[in-house]
Amino acid sequence: MKTIGLIGGLSWESTQVYYKYINTLTNSKLGGLNSAKINICSLNFSEIEKLMFRNDWDSVANIIIESALTLEKSGVDFILICTNTVHKVFDLVQNSINTPLIHIADAVGEQLNTLNIKKAGLLGTNFTMEQDFLVNRFQSKFDVDVLVPREDERKIIHSIIFDELCFGKILDNSRREFIRIINSLRHHGAEGVILGCTEIPLLVKDSDTNVRLFDSALIHSAYAVKLALE
């Protein structure tokens, strides 16, 4: 079994989801008392958040690189960044380490291709929805067209993520807003919707809608387990 490196704390709410998903999937495949070999470098999200909102992505990259190097020295076989938004600095991090970094969009994109999804909605932070670091990767590498919500809807999603989900607050009214926006994306041609923030599945589940949802944290975790057990 290979050792998985996780850069977490971005937020810790979603990091515990990764830890649970990876161990649950590993045990389902191997049985008994088997669990995954995982090294976690958990950061203080408050520091990262301030830098993101100041648009200081170079400093964000430096922190993530330092964490990746720490995991590399610990002997992990590959590394996951446990959030979508920080993948904005993916290339800077990968170019600074020797250990493979597993991109969350690659894991999701492969599943979209397997299911022949050609147009998908994308929900996430404003950084993820309004910038092109995930959208371009889905389009250029997997030939998937990406739809994002309207500006007013993006503001709602962003606020719920940072003001509620990152604090573990799960509110019914917020769930209804997400479902409304998901249904709007389907109305505009989305064949499925990518939950492109690892906190969103804390709020929205498959049972909440008839629209096919792609939980990026679960898909990323499953991809890691597959690599670890190859």
How confident is the prediction for the chain on average, in pLDDT? 95
Do residues 116 and 206 both lie within one domain?
A: yes
Same domain as 99, residue 61: yes
Same domain, 83 and 114: no
Q: Are residues 76 and 169 in the same domain?
A: no
Q: Are residues 211 and 224 in the same domain?
A: no
Same domain, 133 and 164: yes
What is the spatial distance between Cα 115 and Cα 3, in angstroms, rounded to a whole number?
29
The C-alpha atoms of residue 129 and residue 95 are separated, in whole angstroms, by 25
**pLDDT confidence of residue 198:** 81
Q: Which residues contact 192 (CB under 8 A, 6 or more apart)?
A: 112, 115, 117, 120, 121, 211, 212, 213, 214
The pLDDT confidence band at residue 9, using thresholds 50, 70 and 90, is very high
| Catalytic residue ranges | 83, 197
Q: Rounded mean pLDDT of 48-74?
A: 96
Backbone angles phi, psi at 98, to 5 degrees: -95, -20
Contact 189, 119 (CB under 8 A): yes
What lies within 8 Å, CB to CB, of 150 at 6+ separation is 184
Distance CA 5, CA 154 (A): 31
Residue with tokens 């290979």: 2
Please indicate, yes or no, whether residues 125 and 150 belong to a single structural domain of this protein: yes
Same domain? 46 vs 86: yes
Report the alpha-carbon distance of residue 115 to residue 230 in Å, rounded: 23
The pLDDT score that the predictor gives to residue 11 is 83
CATH number for the domain harbouring residue 151: 3.40.50.1860
Pair 93, 111 in one domain: no
Please check the confidence at residue 199 and state whether its pLDDT lies above 90.
no
Structural domain range at position 76: 3-103+219-229
Helix axes 57-74, 45-53, angle to 10 degrees: 150
Indicate if 7 and 24 belong to the same structural domain. yes
Distance, in Å, from the CA atom of 137 to the CA atom of 50, rounded to the nearest integer, reads 26
pTM, rounded to two decimals: 0.91
Mean pLDDT to the nearest integer, 165-185: 94
Cβ-Cβ contacts under 8 Å for 63 (sequence gap 6 or more): 43, 47, 48, 51
DSSP 219: H
Looking at the structure, do residues 32 and 122 belong to the same domain, yes or no? no
Task: Examine the pLDDT at 74 and tell me if it is beyond 90.
Answer: yes
| Count: domains in the chain | 2
- Describe the strand order of the beta sheet including 37-42 as a list of residue ranges: 37-42, 3-8, 78-81
